[in-house]
Amino acid sequence: MKLYYVRSITLLFILFLSFATTPVLAGPVLDFQAVGSGTVTYYGPENCQLSDTGCTVVTEGTVKGKHIGMGTFTNTVTVLWKSGFPNGSSGYCAPASGTETITAADGSTLTAKRVGILCEVGPTGTNGPYTFNGSYFITEGTKRFSEASGSGVQICSVDTDGNVLGFAHGTIKK
């Protein structure tokens, strides 16, 4: 009988330690993936590539992803062409940063800051094609994403007709 109590107390102690060392409020860190397509809705004012403030480009479209389902996105990115450097194909690459908001079908939103490099594909031309390679950091969310955080990589392309394709892969903690 004594051995039974010792085992029971030992088991309870082990259970207590496992709960005491596990953060109760911390959600799981999950794999996050999303693919999207859309269009450029604004390229910035004429000759913005010559300005110190750069060109602010806006894209909008649809997105499908793990943990968000179907939804829409709006992305605003500023490209600092004056800080650009040759891409090796008679065009340029430049630092780019901005904000992206994804709205899921249920109205929940995720907002992320992104930073990276936008490159012309080939020689300099008007309105693309371009590629963006960068990283994102989730800064806020609403509804089911109100406590969300996370980060990852993002790759996008824009063709000469303004069609956008993008892919993001990283982590999300809800």
Q: What is the pLDDT of residues 9-37, one digit of tens each?
A: 444 344 333 443 334 345 789 999 999 99
The answer to whether residue 44 is domain-embedded is yes
- Are 68 and 35 in contact by the 8 Å Cβ rule? The answer is no
Cβ atoms of residues 144 and 121 within 8 Å: no
Domain that holds residue 85: 27-173
pLDDT digits (tens, 9 = 90+) for 105-163: 999 999 999 999 999 998 887 777 999 999 999 999 999 999 999 999 999 999 999 99
Residue 20 covered by a domain: no
Number of structural domains in the chain: 1
**Mean pLDDT value across the chain:** 86
Does the residue 75 lie in any domain? yes
Question: Is residue 22 in a domain?
Answer: no
Instruction: Please list the alpha-helical segments (H only) found in 1-86.
Output: 2-20
Amino acid, res. 78? T
Residue 104 belongs to domain with CATH number = 2.40.480
Specify if 138 maps to a domain: yes
**pTM reported for the whole predicted model:** 0.81
Q: Cβ distance 116 to 79 under 8 Å? A: no
* 109: in domain: yes
